[in-house]
Structure 1
Amino acid sequence: MPGSKDAIRDAAAGLFVERGYAATPLRDIAARAGVDASLIIRHFGSKEELFLRTVEERMPEAAPLDGPLESVGEDFIRFVLSSDAHVRGVFLALLRASDADGIGSRLRAVHDRFFVEPLRARLEGPDADLRARLAASLVGGLLYSFWAVRDEALAAADPELIVVRYGALLQRLITP
């Protein structure tokens, strides 16, 4: 079927965000895409592979990790705070699926490729890898507080104040 692969990816992306990985059976993805479930296996091999490929394709385009190193902290936090529902959905889908069989190690690889490695490449010093990983953890904590926990006090805070304060924390990891 022409376009069936795209229809499957779109249906899967929507359902994984809405329900999470574990609560999304292949038959529901197939029904939303208007295809037979066997076609999903033929195109993607497994539910795990469909999930991972869908998430990778929907990762945010260009996070501001390549600007001036001395402003990456605030620039990145500003980017995170201004992210749309799509970015939020990808983060929550990853979070919900992180304990599923076969997913955890691949998620770490995606995490490394999209955040840790680009940042580490810009850092100097013997602990560059550790600092890049700590920076990723720091940002992940902010996303978790905003999007998973839905911390109302953070949501009500002045975004620019969060950019300045949290950006300073991130910057200290990047340029110790």
Structure 2
Amino acid sequence: MSSGADNPSSALATPETDGAPGVLRRRNDAQASRRALLEAAAALFDERGYEGATVRDIGERAGVDAALIARYFGGKEGLYLAALEETERPPLPTDPFAVFAKFLGKSDENGSNNPICRAMVSPSLSPALRDQVGALMARRVIGPLAQRLADDGVQQPQLRAELLVALALGTTLTRSSGTLTALADASLDEVHAVLDPLVGALVDRTR
């Protein structure tokens, strides 16, 4: 019988089955470090916002090397999205005007520093991260909104739900850039006064 060193299949044995406590311990350590980073990131993002929570602070709060953020999540944005995925949050409203107001108001607080806003429009987003952002938005926002529109008899509910979100995010990013001064200087009430009729037309079941 050949020894484990001569058997190529031995390299595929898992820590659970090959009796290698050192390998199993390293796997458990990695899982614990990842969990600690997620919990620390969720807390700090809530306390300080995206820009205010640095990778160094997150690593210190988690008690692990901050370099592991890049290893496990691909960077700060990946960690933010992972924290959003695993954090229990109240569902967004499904009324289209309430969804529009929620997005416009929340994003207006953070402007272009909101990683979800940036990720939604970034041309350099990796395919994996783009899929993650798309799945997150579909599950938490666009899917429920599209279902509400479908129930209300609105035609092309998926397209209209996505256009509504795009209108809110595009307006927010343009306002925060400051390049269009009238839009940048306008209050949220003024923006709503102009755009709410567009939202109404967008979700009109007769159109």
Which of 21, 30, 33 aligns to 2:61? It is 33
Which of 139, 164, 168 aligns to 1:113? It is 139
TM-score if structure 1 supplies the norm length?
0.65
Q: Does residue 7 in structure 1 map to residue 66 in structure 2? A: no
Q: Report if the CA contact (8 A) 1:8-1:40 is conserved.
A: no
3-state SS, counterpart of residue 171 of structure 1: helix
Higher relative contact order (CA 8 A, sep 6+): 1
Q: Cα offset for 1:126?
A: 4.6
Q: Cα offset for 1:63?
A: 3.4
Which of 173, 194, 197 aligns to 1:168? It is 197
Q: Does residue 78 in structure 1 map to residue 78 in structure 2? A: no
3-state SS, counterpart of residue 170 of structure 1: helix
Q: Report if the CA contact (8 A) 1:30-1:40 is conserved.
A: no
Residues 1:55 and 1:88: Cα distance change in structure 2 (over 3 Å): farther
**Paired position in structure 1 for 2:115:** 93
Q: Highest CA radius of gyration, 1 or 2?
A: 2
Residues 1:90 and 1:153: Cα distance change in structure 2 (over 3 Å): closer
3-state SS, counterpart of residue 106 of structure 2: coil
Equivalent-residue separation in structure 2 for 1:59 and 1:89 (angstroms): 23
Q: Cα offset for 1:13?
A: 7.1
Identity percentage over the alignment? 21
**Paired position in structure 1 for 2:182:** 153
> Root-mean-square deviation (CA), in Å?
4.0
Which of 5, 8, 17 aligns to 2:50? It is 17
Q: Report if the CA contact (8 A) 1:146-1:155 is conserved.
A: yes
Equivalent-residue separation in structure 1 for 2:140 and 2:191 (angstroms): 23
Q: Cα offset for 1:65?
A: 2.0
Aligned pair count reads 160
Q: Cα offset for 1:91?
A: 6.7
TM-score if structure 2 supplies the norm length?
0.57
The runs of 5 or more residues in structure 2 that have no matched partner are: 1-31
Q: Cα offset for 1:38?
A: 8.3
Question: Residue type of the partner of 1:106?
Answer: Q
Q: Cα offset for 1:140?
A: 1.6
3-state SS, counterpart of residue 122 of structure 1: helix
